[in-house]
């Protein structure tokens, strides 16, 4: 981009503001191609008034009011959040239901990747031994064991990518029968069954905790891969679950616990090591998309490119989840109108209503979502952020809805209701069965997960340049004018197939950047 030429981006014809695209922003006196002269400095990503805006008049971006002017704003002014009054959230009554019937997208055939087929029909993109825990108390012991497994056992099993402990803060000291407690429990259960773990369920338990192993993994929720256990004399259904219980009287001393975990882990490693990648259609991808550290470019570059890619995935018969309830709440009418059936629309409304009530209990609303960094990046409020966030969902009909912690069973486009918190959203998408994660960022975040590859997409070329060894795709080229949304969407789609096949590692994998699993627990802690 030639920085001497002022460049602004207006999303819709009727918008009365545009964002400044130039690195470093524009100085006072800069003249836009329209002849408009800037009255003050406008930072990159921030809005400039294109016309005089009267007091109380709507400020329009994405063709909708993102706020109303508190006082008159002169053309050429910097329009920031302190000049705006945020509109109330759209009510949940009288929404358009299944009114948009886009023509069916043409099928996209012939795209494949190399994945690990599982007995339950899912496909993994990595081959990982994940050791589940029932309670945080065992985390230190498990971590000690995992370090030894990595050093002493993993080198013997060349086809296994990694060994991880599924640590979390749940399991005891919680009101385990309270409404809402089923969310963290089923989340943990379903994460243990993520396609990347090959159906090898192994649990480390303390013994006295509220979340007992059989409550975490009731009979029938997991497949028994090892028939030897079933043949044990008098083996009951419960006995099939592979549990190492630290308080078991057989354990004398710390090393006895570590040796038990290692011995059990080795059996799972042997079976995982026998797995081989095979060619599978792109329809076996289960992709979770989310954003974090967003800026005003998120909705202009990276998220539209992800939205284009979402459409490609749906056309290829894959499953795609978009989430982050507070970041789509202001676009609920767009979502209900795209629902394939009134039932799907109603489920979305129910999830939004539940979340509104959840926030209300804490005496906040959706406006609590935006961060100082969002605002510095030009996003004035949650309405503007939501309009940019929702475009990750592309244009396909929304055919399915998941409540937090539920497991996905359908292909196509799913609204998986989750908080917008990066770690909680990622954790819930893992539980849904995600085998590939796409994450867009404008401010920059080194986010990564141990369980699935995370492809990170930068919204701006400046970020992509500075974080060249953390960002996998630069969507800033769209704002620079050197690539189109379609170009970057296809680049992302092709990269996904390579990453899913294990032929390419994401930067987060390369550096082993692994954020914690954070369970969503709306129920009380005791
Ligand atoms: Ca997020």
**What integer pLDDT is reported at residue 102 of this predicted model?**
80
The arithmetic mean of pLDDT across residues 503-510, rounded, is 98
Question: From the CA of 321, how far away is ligand 1's center (Å)?
Answer: 13
Ion ligand 1, residues whose Cβ is below 5 A away: 290, 292, 420, 422, 425
Distance CA 333, CA 100 (A): 11
Task: Please state, in angstroms and as integers, the Cα–Cα distance from residue 394 to each residue in 345, 397, 412, following that order.
Answer: 17, 9, 12
Decide if 205 contacts 257 (C-beta within 8 A). no
Distance 484 CA to ligand 1 centre (A): 25
User: Which tens digit of pLDDT belongs to each residue from 72-106?
Assistant: 999 999 999 999 999 888 899 999 999 998 888 89
Per-residue pLDDT band at 521 (split at 50, 70, 90): very high
CA of 213 to the centre of ligand 1 (A): 31
Each residue of 281-302: pLDDT tens digit?
999 999 999 999 999 999 999 9
Q: How far is the CA of 298 from the centre of ligand 1 (A)?
A: 12
490 CA from centroid of ligand 1 (Å)? 23
Backbone φ, ψ for residue 198 (5° rounding)? 60, 20
Would you say residue 230 has pLDDT above 50?
no
Q: What is the mean pLDDT of residues 488-503?
A: 98
pLDDT confidence tier of residue 239, bands split at 50, 70 and 90 = very low
Distance 424 CA to ligand 1 centre (A): 8
Using 50, 70 and 90 to split pLDDT, how confident is the model at 238?
very low
pLDDT at 105: 87
Nearest to 318 by CA among 280, 279, 278, 285: 285
Distance 423 CA to ligand 1 centre (A): 8
Q: How far is the CA of 323 from the centre of ligand 1 (A)?
A: 8
Rounded to an integer, what distance in angstroms lies between the CA atom of residue 100 and that of residue 229? 53
**CA of residue 68 to ligand 1 center, whole Å:** 26
| pLDDT band, very low/low/confident/very high, at 223 (cuts 50, 70, 90) | low
Cβ neighbours of 350 (radius 10 Å): 14
Calculate how far, in angstroms, residue 418's C-alpha sits from the geometric centre of ligand 1.
9
CB of 418 within 8 A of CB of 288?
no
What is the separation, in whole angstroms, between the first and last Cα of the chain? 56
User: Residue 107 Cα, ligand 1 centroid: separation in angstroms?
Assistant: 30
Give the pLDDT of residue 224.
55
Summarize the confidence of residues 21-33 as an average pLDDT.
95
Confidence of residue 227 (pLDDT cuts 50, 70, 90): very low
In percent, the amount of the chain with pLDDT more than 90 equals 91
What pLDDT is stored for residue 486 in this prediction?
96
pLDDT at 225 exceeding the cut of 70: no
Cα-to-centroid distance, 303 and ligand 1 (Å) = 12
Residue 319 has pLDDT above 50, yes or no: yes
State the distance from the centre of ligand 1 to the C-alpha of 60, rounded, in angstroms.
Answer: 24
pLDDT higher than threshold 90 for residue 237:
no
What is the 440 CA–ligand 1 centroid distance (Å)? Answer: 9
CA of 456 to the centre of ligand 1 (A): 12
What are 380-403's pLDDT values in tens digits?
999 999 999 999 999 999 999 999
Half-sphere exposure in the Cβ direction for 179 (13 Å, CA) = 2
Burial 425-461 (b: 16+ CB within 10 A, else e): bbbbbbbbbbbbbbbbbbbbbbbbbbbbbbbbbbbbb
Residue 3 has pLDDT above 90, yes or no: no
Instruction: Tell me the CA–centroid distance for residue 192 and ligand 1, in Å.
Output: 22
Give the contacts of 9 (CB within 8 A, at least 6 positions apart). 18, 19, 21, 300, 479
pLDDT higher than threshold 80 for residue 162: yes
Sheet containing 202-205, strands listed edge to edge, beginning at the edge strand earlier in sequence: 162-166, 128-133, 202-205, 242-245
In what order do the strands lie in the sheet containing 286-291? 398-402, 412-416, 319-322, 286-291, 436-441, 454-458, 473-474
What pLDDT, on the 0 to 100 scale, is given for residue 89?
87
Centroid of ligand 1 to alpha carbon of 443 (angstroms) = 12
Closest CA to 133 of 200, 198, 208, 192: 192
Give 54's DSSP letter.
-
Give strand ranges (E) for 326-444: 398-402, 412-416, 436-441
The CB-side HSE value for 511 (13 A sphere, CA atoms) comes to 14
Query: Looking at residue 120, what is its pLDDT?
Result: 93
């Amino acid at each position: 981009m030639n920085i001497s030429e002022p460049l602004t981006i207006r999303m819709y014809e009727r918008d009365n503001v545009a964002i400044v695209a130039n690195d470093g922003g524009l100085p006072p006196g800069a003249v836009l191609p329209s002849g408009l002269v800037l009255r003050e400095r406008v930072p990159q990503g921030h809005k400039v008034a294109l016309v005089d805006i009267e007091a109380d008049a709507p400020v329009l971006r994405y063709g909708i009011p993102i706020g109303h002017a508190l006082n008159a704003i002169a053309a050429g002014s910097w329009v920031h959040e302190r000049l705006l009054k945020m509109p109330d959230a759209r009510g949940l009554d009288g929404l358009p239901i299944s009114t948009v019937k886009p023509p069916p997208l043409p099928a996209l055939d012939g795209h494949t990747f190399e994945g690990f087929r599982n007995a339950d029909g899912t496909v993994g993109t990595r081959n990982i031994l994940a050791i589940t825990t029932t309670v945080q108390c065992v985390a230190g012991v498990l971590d000690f064991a995992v370090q030894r497994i990595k050093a002493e056992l993993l080198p013997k099993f060349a086809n296994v990518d990694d060994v991880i402990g599924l640590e979390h803060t749940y399991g005891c000291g919680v009101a385990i029968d309270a409404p809402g407690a089923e969310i963290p429990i089923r989340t943990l259960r379903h994460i243990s069954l993520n396609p990347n773990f090959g159906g090898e369920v192994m649990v480390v338990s303390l013994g006295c905790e509220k979340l007992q192993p059989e409550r975490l993994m009731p009979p029938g929720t997991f497949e028994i891969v090892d028939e030897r256990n079933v043949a044990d004399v008098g083996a009951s259904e419960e006995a099939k679950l592979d549990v190492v219980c630290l308080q078991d009287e057989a354990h004398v001393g710390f090393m006895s616990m570590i040796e038990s975990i290692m011995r059990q882990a080795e059996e799972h490693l042997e079976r995982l090591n026998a797995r081989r990648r095979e060619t599978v259609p792109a329809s076996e991808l289960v992709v979770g998309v989310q954003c974090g550290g967003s800026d005003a470019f998120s909705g202009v570059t990276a998220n539209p490119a992800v939205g284009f890619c979402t459409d490609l995935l749906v056309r290829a018969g894959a499953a795609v989840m978009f989430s982050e309830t507070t970041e789509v709440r202001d676009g609920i009418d767009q979502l209900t109108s795209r629902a394939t059936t009134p039932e799907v629309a109603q489920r979305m409304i129910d999830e939004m209503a539940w979340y509104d009530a959840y926030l209300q209990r804490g005496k906040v609303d959706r406006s609590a979502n935006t961060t100082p960094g969002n605002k510095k990046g030009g996003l004035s409020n949650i309405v503007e952020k939501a309009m940019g966030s929702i475009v990750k969902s592309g244009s396909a009909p929304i055919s399915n809805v998941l409540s937090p912690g539920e497991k996905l069973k359908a292909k196509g486009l799913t609204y998986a209701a989750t908080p917008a918190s990066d770690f909680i959203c990622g954790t819930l998408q893992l539980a849904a069965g995600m085998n590939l994660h796409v994450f867009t960022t404008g401010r920059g975040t080194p986010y990564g997960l141990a369980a699935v590859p995370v492809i990170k997409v930068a919204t701006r070329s400046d970020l992509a340049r500075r974080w060249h060894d953390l960002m996998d795709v630069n969507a800033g080229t769209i704002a620079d004018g050197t690539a189109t949304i379609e170009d970057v969407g296809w680049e992302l789609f092709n990269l996904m197939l390579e990453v899913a096949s294990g032929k390419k590692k994401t930067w987060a994998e390369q550096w082993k950047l692994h954020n914690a699993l954070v369970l969503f627990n709306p129920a009380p802690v005791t």
